Amino acid sequence: MDVDSNGMFQVQPERALLSYTPNDYFHANLGRYHTGIGYYNNAYHHGAAFLQTATGRPLLFAFDDQGGVLPIHKIGLSLTGRIPSGALGLSYIAEVGFGPSSHMGMGMSGSNQMMTVTDDNNGRAFNLGFIARPLPWHPVQFGFDFYHADRTPMGMPSFSENIYAGHFLYLAPSFEFLNEAALIRHSSAMMGTFNTLGFYSQLSRKWHAWRPFVRYNYLNAPQMEPIFTTTGRQNGPSGGLRYEVNESVALKLQFDHLDRRGLSAVNVATCKLHSCSRRGGRDQ
Amino acid sequence: MINRVCWALIIALLSVPAGLAGASETIFASGTGIAVIVNTDNPVDKLSLADLQRIVLGERRSWSARIPLVLMMRNEGSRERILLLQKACHMTDAEYHQYWTGKIFRGDVTSEPVSLPSLGTALDFVSSIKGGISFVDAASVRPGIKVMRIDGHLPGEQGYPLQ
């Protein structure tokens, strides 16, 4: 449930899926899903803040209604499954859905422009990705995604949006090393090409109930980028400590420093208590 | 200043000996080990320890395109469960529980695997469900149940990983 700018409560389903999973090689999901770009977006959904090591998502994977640059949600068809590949441990992701709608009005708010059931044009957005979890290198995981959509913002020429994303993870219960990067390329015959680059790297280690962590965020949109007009360059380190009170409650302390192009740097200290039950999560 | 603090934290995270991190392992008296049991109609005879890990973590959910895999863990605190999680997943019971909470939140699954309370129910379950898999003390295996080779070894053999 969200609160809009008028202070009114709105119920907004984040995911609603019809699933068909006959075997490991073919999982089909139809409905509103989290796009399979990278690792973080599908690993930590709404209401699952407890499961995240840090207090929030990396800048690169900020929710699309909170200034994020990646298409976090889509409405359409998502296919996933294993690829018979022995020790390579390959799997695939293939998604096709409504592309982004950059038009305002018609009951849509600007913040929701990436997740509507309307599209700027006839072309659908698609995402194709491959993930490898090689058995000899367990628990290493790496993968690559390619996403494409066409965008036609109101009063502007059409843009082709291509996203190239890659990740490399080492995910053990007591040690976590997450690295993800994405290049978002907007190309137009009339306005040229604009490359927005983002990445984050996160390292954490668990000592019993304590888990100190450090993360570095980087997101850089060109000054003349026509779609990410307010993103600019933002980069800086974060560090913190997570303490698991019990299996379902975690106390997190985090300090963020963010340098911004053309603006003063921001320092933020955050303390959050995250709880989790099988019926849903809660932040305080 | 901030960068220095972050670098110091990174070095600290990487330099502390691994033995100080994570939960301590429970030591069991060595015996014949834990047998991975399946139905006799199951076409699979052997698994690698990595395959077993994928099964226990719910990443592998079918034996073949037509035979779904039905995982039945042993109850919390049992020797079979603790040893299996230690050897195959390098996890404690609490970490395993949290892992499945994540899967449920992601929508990958609807529930954590059911835990069987006794040896008898584990044997009965596997003998009646074609795609079933469970874990029992190797000394308790009875006829009519197939015991999987893990990394090429049966329980009691040298090199068997679950003992």
| B60·A237 Cβ contact <8 A | no
Q: From the candidates B3, B5, B13, which should be mutated to test the interface with A, based on the most A CB atoms within 10 A? A: B13
Which residues constitute the domain of residue B66? 33-150
Nearest to B132 by CA among B143, B121, B117: B121
Q: pLDDT band for position B22 (50/70/90)?
A: very low
Give pLDDT tens digits for B33-44.
899 999 999 999
Distances (CA, A) of B57 to A18, A135, A162, A178, B71: 23, 14, 34, 20, 10
What is the mean pLDDT for each group of 10 consecutive residues in chain A (284 residues)?
A: 68 79 90 91 82 92 86 91 89 89 44 52 84 88 95 83 96 92 94 94 92 96 89 94 89 94 92 76 47
- CA pair distance A139, A136, nearest whole angstrom: 9
Domain count, chain B: 1
Which tokens in the block code for residue B156? Answer: 């009691």
- CA pair distance A196, A233, nearest whole angstrom: 9
- CA pair distance A63, A72, nearest whole angstrom: 6
Residues of A in contact with B98 (CB under 8 A): 51, 247
Question: What integer pLDDT is reported at residue A153 of this predicted model?
Answer: 79
For residue A21, what is the nearest residue in chain B, using CA coordinates?
B61
- Would B7 be classed as within a structural domain? no
The domain locations on chain A are 15-283
Give pLDDT tens digits for A106-155.
333 344 444 455 566 666 899 999 999 998 888 899 999 999 999 887 77
Indicate the pTM of the whole model: 0.82
Residues 6+ apart with CB under 8 A from B57: B89, B99
- Would B20 be classed as within a structural domain? no
As its CATH architecture, domain A15-283 has Beta Barrel (2.40)
Q: Which of A167-181, A266-280, B16-30, B55-69 has the highest mean pLDDT?
A: A167-181
Instruction: Provide the CATH number for the domain around residue B96.
Output: 3.40.190.10
- Would B77 be classed as within a structural domain? yes
Residues of B in contact with A81 (CB under 8 A): none
DSSP symbol at B153: B
| B9·A214 Cβ contact <8 A | yes
Which tokens in the block code for residue A271? Answer: 């303390």
- CA pair distance A95, A82, nearest whole angstrom: 15
Question: What integer pLDDT is reported at residue A216 of this predicted model?
Answer: 96
Residues of A in contact with B2 (CB under 8 A): 236-237, 257
**Of A22, A237, A247, which is closest to B94 when you measure between CB atoms?**
A247
Q: What are residue B70's DSSP bridge partners?
A: B132
Q: Is the pLDDT assigned to residue B134 strictly greater than 50? A: yes
